A and B are shown apart, each in its own frame.
Chain A
Amino acid sequence: MPKRTDIKTILIIGSGPIVIGQACEFDYSGTQAIKALRKEGYRIVLINSNPATIMTDPEFADATYIEPLVPEIIEKIIAKERPQAILPTLGGQTALNLAVALSEQGILEKYNVELIGAKLPAIKKAEDRRLFRKTMQEIGLDLPKSGYAYTIEESLKVADVIGFPLIIRPSFTLGGIGSGTVYSREDFMEAAATGIDASPINEILIEESVLGWKEFELEVMRDCADNCVVICSIENIDPMGVHTGDSITVAPAQTLTDREYQKMRDWAFKVIRAIGVDTGGSNIQFAVNPADGKLVVIEMNPRVSRSSALASKATGFPIAKIASLLAVGYRLDEIPNDITLKTPASFEPTIDYCVVKIPRFAFEKFTGADQTLNTAMKSVGEVMALGRTFKEAFQKAVRGLEVGRFGLGADGSLRDARIEKRWAAGGVTREELMKEITYNLRNPNCERIFNIRYALIFGMTAAEIHEISKIDPWFLQQIQEIVDWEPAIKKLFKLPRTEQRAFLFATKQLGFSDRQIAHLTGKEPAKIRALRKKLAVIPSYKLVDTCAAEFDACTPYFYSTYEEEDEVPVTARKKVMILGAGPNRIGQGIEFDYCCVHAVLALREEGYETIMVNCNPETVSTDYDISDRLYFEPLTAEDVLNIAEKEKPLGVVVQFGGQTPLNLTAAMHAAGVKILGTSPASIDKAEDRKQFSKILQKIKIPQPASGIALNFEEAKKIATKLTYPVMVRPSYVLGGRAMKIVYDDSMLCDYMAEAAEVSPGKPILVDKFLDNAIEIDVDAISDGDDVYIAGIMEHIEHAGIHSGDSACVMPPHTLSKTSIETIVKHTSNLARELQVKGLINIQFAIKDEVVYILEANPRASRTVPYVSKATGIPLAKIAAKIMLGKKLNKIFSKKILSGSVPHLKYTAVKEVVLPWTRFNNVDVLLGPEMKSTGEVMGIDTDYGRAFAKAQLAAGSVLPRNGAVLVSLGPQGKEEVLPIIRELLNLGFEMLATQHTAEFLESHNLPVKKVNKISEGRPNVIDLIKNRSVSLVLNTPSGKASRADGYHIRRSAVMNNIPMVTTLAAARVTVEGIKALRTNDWTVTSLQEYYKASKS
């Protein structure tokens, strides 16, 4: 069937900010869709609130709206752009939910817009668990036993019928929020209450637990002629009970006979047909009882998903791209397979390697959070690895995680050392140790795989581990084979020369890294590398080709292995290698992938062959369509050097992938690989405090006073000299890890004690903290001579909150002309002094009109995509060209390069989103340690409106009226008064607990006193839960948060009530509310903004 011609314009809905459960996989899928559909001649309108996406680059869609993802805004876009169709299956759960809302609110009917890909009934059948069950029962497929409930009483009745353990799943929540496994009646009540509360319709499904069953997923596609294919089967190593996003998964399925697999395949097709997904991809999850093979359907997603991104990268089959073409009427057999070019997409990929995905967690950021893995997703990113065998892929994946591990074990990691030391020192009995290990095997957690190794080493059998963990014996056997090989490696250098090569080759085939071999033999990794090269034990590279070599493949998508044949020829072109950012984590996410993709695109424009290296399957950068050559490899020195030695690029780009490639700079430099752009020496100068301070003194940029302390006494001395508050942090700081603002001696004492425990003997940096200073971020590009000031961002929060967690605004709105001039001067001087070639990000703080520098990073920053979107200037692209020798004066006019700051006719506000709802028992306060997972941008004609949009996009609806709960800490109370007066003038009512109420009354402000938690009910928390509060204004005390403050903040977050915790945010919130009350929302595309700016 040819494509549809009755459709001219298609609206694509993105997935919004990165949150746990919805990451850059939807940028990947959306970008593919836009490219594919535009190529077919459709006009594409895109809405996505996330500026850090490739899809929102103005050249991708015809009209790009960075606007909040809410029905009322989308309606305005529909009214303006009049699309004939909406494709809602590429933007995750967010887009699907919006499609349902638009449909149910009659908006689609009003504007005569059709849903393509999945229609409303199909979405409902898949998403509404009750309808899903009914549909499955109608077609005769088994599911776990279950029942619905709306109250605790109903829940108990259902639970008694099903028995324990059981699973509670709230209806209509994302990524399993509020769901959990319950083992006993005692725990049931609370879990049921949490679930009912989490569901927007207060409904929970109580389900028979299939805990410990084998878990599988099939990625299925269907076209309009009812042709169905399976793209990939995925088997979870973690059995049922752990969210698939948090599970270690393997493709293809390893432990199913053909008979069982085909039954699953038949069922999958029955599901997609019965649910009625017309066209596109779906993900269907199954559980299999390992005792008798009983098969049950768990759930289906009628859209592309994280798993489909993984399946695409695992097989080479671009699910999202094909899904979009199917949505406009093509059939599978009418679309060519990109990889073979000769065969059609109507086939099932087969693979001749093993793929392992391991999730990456960020528990270290959320002290107190429960680290047990369950049905609610907690991981923030993932890594994928390919190898010819599971063992190889598994160890590659572990070292790709960048969690200080270079394989399953024996890599000299601190954690192994700690256990080994405790054991060797006799500080722990075997029984105690086994008890500890058993606990960690039984209760799924992110360290479980390492505990399997410990268990094996300390004498547990694979059968016992299976009994405890329910992990399939096949996987345990694979892990055992890895562990069993370790002792032999120790004897590597004692082997006769003639046997060394074969042994080393076999060792590498098991996925052991040079670091592991070095640790086991007591040598340096470099020595192992040298030996390998001498013995010609070097990796061979193989193709990902969808067909297990049955056909010739044209796509340059490679992975390393140790095999006889290297089938990847290198070209004679001039080439550049770009290192990606690895797995997403808090502090290093989509923004850096965005920069990497831009670097690739820019260098391709300049005629270079681009070689991308990355291991994150969610990203656009690992789409084989982006670079000339894609190596899907861990970002470790060993793996990257192997590629560099094979490809011999003229240089490598380390500026764009965040900290990950920067950490490899030294190793690359030492091995003679040229680092493009800013030199390693300059990077060192900026990172080394002493050298950096010297430079600042030389070019006269003030820096907050500071000192270095090894113990509390020294720290106290410094703090007394600097005067409190001070900022303390370990010297090896990454992404704000363990940074804290300290207000007095007792806090300092606590901190030093804690630091001594975490990293004994490491110095602690003590800086004067500039209280109530305004923080500024600057992104600039330098070619060593000229400097282009790309963006000056004013943080809305005061200094002291990690820049990645601060909302900020462009252009700055409170800075004096002099301050701006000083910032420009400092930036230019520093960039020149450091001989920056490429991007630099500098953080300044302004206090009492003095501009201090906080830190400088000569690399792409997290704000590059936001600045690029706000200004329309593609910073990363320009920077990439500069790194290859292009001059800024060929790109920008003299006037611009002389320091004039880009003039914007609009305001763009960046706001962050935080994963609080995912982690129970964690205070929701912002601080110097970054905790946000993603960002949104609000763009409008003035600050108030842009801010209100940013808030809306981040999921917080500013109220137009209602009651404000005020709770003030002891510091800066007076400054809040004007804000409260304004809110009162706007008609808001003030609520406060005793202390704050008395303070407000003493200033003659009307306030209604409410009970603290300890004062009886209804108390302040009840008011929040009942939504009698429409805004929370809580400025916590500088010191430890008080119990009430903590509970107020948590309940506000859990009940989605907007909350303001800083004065600056309070001021702009009032502006936002005012803007909201005067005018309705308007929508404008980026293309329109840029055009207006040029005129």
Chain B
Amino acid sequence: MQKRCILALESGRIFIGNSFGYEGERDGEIVFNTSLSGYQEILTDPSYCGQIVCMTNPHIGNYGINPEDMESSRIHASGFVVKEASAIVSNWRSTESLSDFLSRNKVIGLEGIDTRALTRHIRQAGAMRAVISTTETNPKKLIEKAKKSRGLVGRDLVREVTCAEKYLFTHETAVPPQFSVALLDCGCKSNIARELAERGCAVTVFPATATAEDILAINPTGIMLSNGPGDPAAVTYVIETVKKLIAHIATKNQKLPLFGICLGHQMLGLALGAKTYKLKFGHRGANHPVKDLTTGAIEITSQNHGFCVDEKSLRNNDVAVTHCNLYDGTLEGIAHKHLPIFSVQYHPEASPGPHDASYLFGRFLKLMEK
């Protein structure tokens, strides 16, 4: 018999279903993701730290969990909400079921609720604080707990997910390393490192607290700012680091490319003087069209962000907008007009999601070749 599980939102809405996975109580920001596939990558993406994720695709868990599709070593999401978790797994690569994976990672799963109603509510009311619980049965108490929970704004979640120390990323590739890339880990998805390694980069991963000096000390041929969770404005120390890196590039080494992804993009924006703001319910999915304004080409992108660089605040004349979201016109990419510095809001490393934007890694490599 499955245990009852309640999702309570600060707005006062509650959703009651059955628990699968771990039992207990956690708070987090409730968000939805519209990807049809890729729940394993989503769960293990450190950017979801502090969030309870609802998948809009009703059938989740069908193909289980496998050792290869991990974006980090564990689940980072605070909770997982689906319409129906598969009772069995069917895939030759699967080694574990979704519910076992959640249990092992101490993450609560909720199934059997009207996930579309939840999604519509989030769309209308915005992403908000929530509590998921199998222990408290009184919804009113849970709503109060949700109202009192921490939320995301102003909170530095990067410290919770970054690596403890610098290390060399190991990945078997056919290409011998030609470049040395310093990857600043703010909650990095493994596939960013994999994409770089497969293109012939030796990747040194730095903790988010590393200074510009630490990074430059390995004499990298390129610097990558990773994705990560939460409010970029709260991660002031990284913004400082980025500012110093930009100054270094501008004054000392105009051939050192810097590439930012997602949170990395937001922090680059902040370092370049722009502001960030919180989107009503964010972009999370694998179908957002983005236009590359430099070529006119459209790419279908993997997205996961709740904050955004404010295009109007980007007054730096040396910076150009390179990518834009065709859904809502929000800023999706910027590039320095004179320096090899660029970033995108979405996920060229995909995983999950389409590979349309993987050319950006090629762009980064071209800049390193110069």
Contact = CB atoms under 8 A, between A and B. Distances in A.
Interface of A: 225-227, 229, 233, 252-259, 261-262, 265-266, 290-293, 331-333, 343-344, 346-354, 388-390, 472-474, 477, 481, 542, 547-552, 563-565, 567
Contacts of A549: 32, 56, 116, 119-120, 123
Interface residues of B, number: 53
Nearest to B115: A352
A565 B59 contact: no
A354 B56 CA distance: 11
B367 interface: no
Interface in B276-321: 285-289, 291, 296-298, 300
A261 B63 CA distance: 12
B225 to A, nearest CB: 24
Contact of B63 (A255, A331, A548, A565): A255
A474 B90 contact: yes
A226 B292 CA distance: 13
A563 B116 contact: yes
B93 interface: yes
Given A252-B36, A262-B354, A565-B116, A346 B326 contact: yes
B216 interface: no
14 contacts: A227-B298, A229-B300, A252-B57, A255-B90, A256-B63, A333-B298, A344-B326, A352-B34, A352-B83, A352-B116, A354-B59, A552-B123, A564-B15, A564-B117
B300 A347 contact: yes
A1049 to B, nearest CB: 48
Given A225-B297, A255-B90, A563 B117 contact: yes
B352 interface: yes
A563 B114 contact: yes
A237 to B, nearest CB: 12
A254 B59 contact: yes
B58 interface: yes
Interface stretch (B37-45, B126-134, B147-155, B243-251): B37-45
A331 B58 CA distance: 32
The 10 closest A-B pairs by CB, nearest first: A258-B38, A565-B117, A548-B56, A258-B352, A564-B114, A474-B90, A258-B37, A348-B287, A352-B56, A563-B114
Contacts of A256: 37, 63
Binding site of B, secondary structure by majority: helix, strand, loop or mixed?
loop
A389 B92 CA distance: 23
A347 B93 contact: no
A564 B41 CA distance: 29
Given A259-B69, A352-B115, A343 B327 contact: yes
Contacts of A261: 36-37
Binding site of A, secondary structure by majority: helix, strand, loop or mixed?
loop
Contacts of B38: 257-258
Contacts of A389: 58-59, 83-84
A473 B119 CA distance: 30
B351 interface: yes
B114 A347 contact: no
Given A257-B63, A257-B66, A347-B327, 6 more contacts: A227-B297, A259-B68, A347-B288, A350-B56, A388-B83, A567-B120
Nearest to B87: A477
B91 interface: yes
Contacts of B62: 254-255, 474
B113 to A, nearest CB: 7
A388 B36 CA distance: 14
Contacts of B287: 347-350, 547
Nearest to B37: A258
Nearest to A337: B327
B125 interface: no
B298 A346 contact: yes
B35 interface: yes
B351 A258 contact: yes
B353 interface: yes
B116 A293 contact: no
Nearest to A254: B62
Contacts of A343: 326-327
Interface string B46-57: 000000000011
Nearest to A540: B114
A258 B91 CA distance: 12
B354 A548 contact: no
Contacts of A266: 355
Interface string B22-40: 0000000000101111101
B238 interface: no
Contacts of B123: 549-552
A474 B88 contact: yes
A563 B37 CA distance: 23
Contacts of B120: 549, 565, 567
A1071 B289 CA distance: 61
B86 interface: yes
Contacts of A347: 287-289, 300, 326-327
A349 B113 CA distance: 23
Interface string B91-121: 1110000000000000000000111110110
A333 B290 CA distance: 10
Given A258-B69, A333-B289, A350-B36, A292 B57 contact: no
Nearest to B287: A348
Contacts of B34: 350, 352, 547-548, 550
A349 B57 CA distance: 12
Nearest to B68: A259
B233 interface: no
Q: Which of A252, A293, A347, A481 has the most CB of B within 10 A?
A: A347
A474 B86 contact: yes
B335 interface: no
B128 to A, nearest CB: 16
Contact of B88 (A332, A333, A349, A473): A473
Interface in B183-220: none
Given A225-B297, A348-B287, A390-B59, A293 B84 contact: no
Contacts of B93: 257, 293
A256 to B, nearest CB: 6
B57 A350 contact: yes
Nearest to A481: B87
B92 A258 contact: no
B350 interface: yes
Contacts of B116: 352, 388, 542, 548-549, 563, 565, 567
Contacts of A255: 62-63, 90-91
B69 A333 contact: no
A724 to B, nearest CB: 61
Q: Which of A291, A332, A388, A472 has the most CB of B within 10 A?
A: A388
A196 to B, nearest CB: 38
Contacts of B36: 233, 252-253, 261, 350-351
Contact of B289 (A292, A344, A350): A344
Nearest to A226: B297
Contacts of A226: 297
A389 B57 CA distance: 10
A227 B123 CA distance: 29
A941 to B, nearest CB: 53
B295 to A, nearest CB: 9
B165 to A, nearest CB: 30
Nearest to A563: B114
A258 B347 CA distance: 15
Contacts of B352: 258, 262
B91 A257 contact: yes
B21 to A, nearest CB: 19
A474 B86 CA distance: 8
A706 B57 CA distance: 60
Nearest to A565: B117
Nearest to A229: B300
A1031 to B, nearest CB: 56
A350 B59 contact: no
Contacts of B56: 350, 352, 548-550
A548 B116 CA distance: 7
